[in-house]
Amino acid sequence: MTNAGDTVQRSGRIGQAWRSFCALGAGNYAAIAVGLAVNVLITRRLGTEQYGRLALMLVASQLLLLAAVNWSHAGFVRFGAVAFASDRVANRTLWTRMGLVLPTAAAGVLIAARGHRALAAYLNIPPAGAWLILLHFLAAGARIV
């Protein structure tokens, strides 16, 4: 038999989850709108050729991110969920992933820093652009890790 207090508590949790879901959705759609507006402004400001170079730099950063960090994400979610379900904590899974990802991310940073001139020449961008690729990689990697 259910208790009236349990029902109220359950409906309160459902209401809180629904409010959180709506807030998350609103935040995501606002971020999409801001991103679209920024892309329009940047495209108009840079022109097609320079915007193409910017897109190429972002692709290079995303490839570096994929090779250094993102490859472990699916395993972390799977094994972290199992660990959390059994122990109610996932810290061992988190630190195991950090032990795997941080050396590969550091190697990616070193390779990008060491070869920034060659990367800039290959992509036909100014050398400062290669440093922007590295900066984008570090910012995105910090958010993911």
In sequence order, which residues have a C-beta less than 8 Å from that of residue 83 and are 6 or more positions away? 89, 90, 92, 93
What is the pLDDT confidence band of residue 23, given thresholds at 50, 70 and 90? very high
d(CA 145, CA 69): 7
Q: Which pLDDT score, from 0 to 100, does residue 22 have? A: 93
Give the model confidence (pLDDT) of 133-142 as tens digits: 888 888 887 7
| Statement: residue 51 has pLDDT above 60 | yes
pLDDT for 144 beyond 80: no
What average pLDDT does the segment 9-25 reach? Answer: 85
pTM above 0.85, yes or no: no
What is the mean predicted confidence (pLDDT) over 40-68?
Answer: 85
Residues 71-99 have pLDDT tens digits of: 888 888 889 899 888 988 888 888 988 88
Q: Which of 80, 75, 78 is nearest to 94 (CA)?
A: 80
pLDDT of residue 142: 78
**pLDDT at residue 29, rounded to an integer:** 92
The DSSP letter of residue 70 is G
Residue located via tokens 């969920």: 81
Which two tokens mark 92?
A: 């061992």
